[in-house]
Chains A and B, each alone.
Chain A
Amino acid sequence: MPELLNDQIKAQLGEAFAQLTQPVHILFFGTKEQCEYCDDTRQLVEEVAATSEKISVSAYSVQDHAEIATQYNIDKTPGLVIAAQDGDAIIDYGIRHAGIPSGHEFSTLIQDILLVSSRDSGLAEATREFLKTVKEPVLLQVFATPT
């Protein structure tokens, strides 16, 4: 398959990722059949990861690795988990992408990588205080389109 990212975008990513401080690990989940964008998504995140030594990727099939998919609460493919890596440990912050991150979603993916690497949500103090009081599961699903 030809490369999805051109040299200009790779250079821009290299520049943006120069500020990455801590390692980021992306888990890719795909299905073998009936997944129009799984192959493209996997290739895209691997090309993104190749632009920085602070980003690594592991790839799983929800059929072959059902336990891991359940552990990460993956019910859509292609699915991505943008996690932190600390030595051998993967720290899951609960950040997911479903569907190919192209167009606007590509910027969101890059922002998520920068955010996770910084280990700082950047949220207001009041928001952080409120979130400490949350003791039940909250699922925020943000729907977007590529254009």
Chain B
Amino acid sequence: MAMESPFVQAEMIEATEFPDLANRHKVSGVPQTTINDGKGHIVGAVPEANLVAELQRLL
């Protein structure tokens, strides 16, 4: 998605190296996708359409 839009940044984070950030976003299961610093969370692998739906709901 980051490739398709100059507004989207995608960051893959190694949770154990950044425990404060992982705790702040209450990461319990991985992968967890956090949108805009906590506006939305999706736990588990996300099908493309679901992520789009979540973004449409949040933006």
Contacts and interface: CB of A to CB of B under 8 A. Distances in A.
A14 B9 CA distance: 28
A96 B59 contact: no
Interface residues of B, number: 37
A94 B2 CA distance: 5
Contacts of A112: 12
A20 B3 CA distance: 17
A143 B27 contact: yes
A99 B14 CA distance: 5
B7 A134 contact: yes
A20 B1 CA distance: 20
Task: Kindly name the residue among A99, A108, A142 whose own CB sees the greatest number of chain B CB atoms within 10 A.
Answer: A142
A98 B35 contact: no
Contacts of B35: 138-141
B32 A142 contact: yes
B15 A95 contact: no
Given A124-B48, A143-B22, A144-B30, A138 B5 contact: yes
Given A128-B4, A143-B30, A76 B18 contact: yes
Contacts of A45: none
Interface stretch (A5-13, A47-55, A59-67, A115-123): A115-123
B54 to A, nearest CB: 10
Interface of B: 1-18, 21-22, 25, 27, 30-37, 48-49, 51-52, 55-56, 59
